[in-house]
Structure 1
Amino acid sequence: MVAYLIADVDVIDMAMFDEYRREVPATEARHGGRYLARGGATTVLEGDWEPHRLVIVEFPDMTSLIAWYDSPEYARLKELRFRCAKTRIIALEGVPPVG
């Protein structure tokens, strides 16, 4: 069952974040990740949420998502992100395919 990484990223240092943004897609792809949304325009329809830069990445399953997040190849980039952005991230299981 697919799994989604959903991140709300508040960038503090754009130059440093650009390095992260350039390098992270290859690490996700090695674990089957693909972007569904990456920093596009948002419109809040309800509530008091004030999203910053939203990202949605689809992985084949939760095991692949967690394997990527905990991988040695992502560790350096995760540390870089900790220095250049405040991020809220969740992992969400998708629904089984219909049919």
Structure 2
Amino acid sequence: MFRTLKARWRAFVAVPRGERFQAHHRRSHKAGTSRTMRIVAIAAALVLIVLGIVMLVLPGPGLIVMLAGAVLLAEESVFVARMMDRIDLAVMRIGRRLRAPA
């Protein structure tokens, strides 16, 4: 299990920023998952996103749970994958500005 996760992470990181989530979406659809599994993945992603929103108010790792739900949703939706790529680039730009010497 950990080998598979490690291999998937390496494949994800190997793609340049701004294209990672779309490439992840394409890789997940090459596998030919069934329609039922896609519906289950979308439902699980939505549950994670809702739980993450609830955890923003209650104790818990809300942002991390929401991110996990968004990544799972990006596997099934090219629109969400594009949005995640844009968010990834925006976060990188903000991080560079914050680390840049004043």
Return the TM-score normalized by structure 1. Answer: 0.31
| Bigger strand share | 1
Return the TM-score normalized by structure 2. Answer: 0.31
